[in-house]
Amino acid sequence: MKERTKLEQAINLCKEVEAELNDNIELIELGELDDDETIVSEAEQSIDKLTKKSGELELQTLLSGEADANHTYLEINSGAGGTESQDWANMLLRMYTRWANAHKCKVNLMEMHNGEEAGIKSATIEIKGENAYGWLKTESGVHRLVRISPFDSNAKRHTSFASVWVYPVIDDNFEVEINESDLRIDTYRASGAGGQHVNTTDSAVRITHIPTKIVVQCQNDRSQHKNRATAMNMLKARLYEAELQRRESEANLEHEGKTDIGWGHQIRSYVLQPYQMVKDLRTGVESGQPNKVLDGEIDIFLNAALAARVHGTSTDVEDIE
């Protein structure tokens, strides 16, 4: 019933747009027959507004994937480069958290490993909100930062890398079978904030799925059992997301290279020095305001990447220095 209601609402919106368009076309024809420029002008303004509305509705059709409506996990890992990359990973964590807050989403920190001097080695957050996975699913990949390092006394330019992995939160409606024999489960002492109990007991849980080498971690609860249950749900979500990727590649082989997300696949460059620009390497979309992007204003990149993924309109763009 929930799915039927959603489909009915979408169909009714399309019918409303069509009816409103036809009404305005008739008004323009009547205005031209009566030589009434006021009627023609008002109808044209209504069509302009309708064009914007139809564009918004078209964007919603991009979020029609099997799990697009779900909440999402977002995992960030720093690349090689020590403190530089760890600081960059922390900047990405802040960017996605701010995006989530701006879109009225709730953010839960699932696990985080701090860097030795600054930043983070890794972090996983859960973003709860309507279509959270659908909006963020194209963010999986490697993000590159170019800047004058604040950690370099010689003020040299550094290039840092961090990977982002996005996968949907799944519920009991999604069946994922996991053999216990395929798992390696480790417990360890949690790091970061969390209180005395969290930091002095082996409550954190790491699960490795041996066949796929997928690793998930959770340390957001005092209870090892609760962390283990949460980590198992995260593992199921990762395996489900991998299956979605496999299906998408099979259904659209000509774009397999573009949809295959891996550590070596850069999707976006953020340049702070010697000039300022953020450029998506898949769609060619650019922004000359990296500070706003890093404050969470990434919708222009999300919209373009979703359109490219659905319509197959992504553009091969040469990497920028």
Bridge-based pairing of strands 183-188 and 286-287 is unpaired
Q: What is the pLDDT of residues 142-188, one digit of tens each?
A: 999 999 888 777 778 889 999 999 988 887 666 777 888 888 988 88
What does the alpha-carbon distance between residue 113 and residue 75 come to, in Å, rounded to a whole number? 12
What is the secondary structure of 92-143 as a DSSP string? HHHHHHHHHHHTT-EEEEEEEEE-SSSSEEEEEEEEESTTHHHHHGGG-EEE
The answer regarding whether domain 72-172+251-311 maps to CATH 3.30.70.1660 reads yes
Q: Look at residue 274 and give its three-state secondary structure.
A: coil
Nearest to 271 by CA among 253, 255, 282, 287: 287
Say which residue the tokens 């699960």 belong to.
207
Residue matched to tokens 């839960």: 108
Q: Which residue in 309, 249, 256, 263 sits closest to 282, CA to CA?
A: 309
For the entire predicted model, the pTM comes to 0.68
Lowest mean pLDDT among 59-68, 71-80, 89-98, 301-310: 59-68
Q: pLDDT-derived band of residue 53, with 50, 70 and 90 as boundaries?
A: confident
- The phi and psi torsions of 79 (rounded to 5 degrees) equal -90, -165
What is the end-to-end Cα distance of the chain in Å, rounded?
Answer: 52
Alpha-carbon span 1 to 11, nearest angstrom: 15
pLDDT reported for residue 229:
87
How many residues does the structure list for the chain?
321
Strands 266-271 and 277-280: antiparallel
Distance in angstroms (rounded) separating the CA atoms of residues 109 and 131: 19
pLDDT exceeds cutoff 60 at 139:
yes
| Position 30, amino acid | L
What is the reported pLDDT for 196? 47
pLDDT number for residue 119: 92
What DSSP line would sit under 203-269, residue for residue?
A: -EEEEEETTTTEEEEE-SSS-HHHHHHHHHHHHHHHHHHHHHHHHHHHHTGGGHHHH---TT-EEEE
Spans of all domains in the chain = 2-61, 72-172+251-311
Q: How far is CA 162 from CA 27, 151, 171, 194, 302, in A?
A: 55, 17, 29, 25, 18
Q: Burial, 127: exposed, middle or buried (Cβ in 10 Å; 0-12, 13-18, 19+)?
A: buried
- Which residue in the block uniquely carries the two structure tokens 């209504």? 46
Tens digit of each residue's pLDDT (9 = 90 or more) over 201-254: 778 889 999 888 889 988 878 888 888 888 888 888 888 888 877 776 655 543
* Position with higher pLDDT, 313 vs 271: 271
What pLDDT score does 8 carry?
Answer: 87
How buried is residue 258: exposed, middle or buried, by Cβ count under 10 Å (0-12/13-18/19+)? middle
Mean pLDDT over each residue of the chain, to the nearest integer: 83
pLDDT in tens, 276-291: 999 999 999 999 999 9
Model pLDDT, residue 273 = 87
